[in-house]
Amino acid sequence: MSMHRAMHCRLDEDLSQLTHFLRRQGVPHRITEERGRQVIWTRDEVDAEIVRGVYAQGVPESTASQRPSGGGARLRLAWQQMLRLIPVTMAVLLITAVVAVITRLGSELQTIALFTFTPITPTGYIAAVPDMAQWWRLIAPMFLHFGWMHLAFNALWYWELGRRIELRSGAWWLLGLTVLFALVSNTAQWLFGGPAIFGGLSGVLYGLLGYCWLYQLLAPNVHFALPKGVVVMMLGWLVLCLSGVVTLLGFGAIANAAHVGGLVIGCLCGAVAGGLQRRR
């Protein structure tokens, strides 16, 4: 497993108390010597922030005689750091979970009507065109999910891709990309699929995937270095969906236009952002 460089300090600095505290809190780490300095390595950025925070504030003296606290304390520390480091990722996942509950995973029609791209008319049908007075509907479908598999797959991938971008570029950047990709993918689905009930984070996910993919090609960095085969797998899944095989296998109707629209706008944004970063 690759390690994350958390911090470095002088070679003669005593880190024994810090190490003992991190072990008690269940934070995996190791210390190496590099170019005459001590380097503390962790497994991810969340643990790295824990290390830097404890180092900056000082190891709590009251913990010197405490027994190991196991994973519970580390879990609390990890959640605190995640809320601080990736608030948009966490917020989107929380809203998605709440919507899944109140819509009963797409089975509560009255609640679903709050998240459709176009409003429901008094006659009970989906309106043919969006209502700009209800502008929030243009992005709201991304929170709708139909079934546990749909929800779990999209949530896991938003966690994987969203946090990478947020850690690299910040919360506002991820929020802007999420809103933009939702707007484009939802609009594409409405234009090509007509007035209908559709939803899911997958259009946004393909946008985030395209963004990371093109950005990494132009300006490689550790955050967007996706595991080998991820892009191939996701593009392969897109092709299967477009072919109609997935629908024939009983997975339901697929919002193909949303997927393609998200991927296209994501690649464009990734190419622009990656190109600008490369010029710097």
Active-site annotation, residues:
202, 259
DSSP state string for 59-102: --GGGTTPPP-HHHHHHHHHHHHHHHH-HHHHHHHHHHHHHHHH
From the number of C-beta atoms within 10 Å of its C-beta (0-12, 13-18, 19+), residue 235 rates as middle
Q: Is 124 left (phi over 0), alpha (psi -120 to 50) or beta?
A: left
Instruction: Provide the Cα torsion 224, 229, 232, 236; round to 10°.
Output: -130
Helix/strand number for the chain, H first, E second:
11, 3
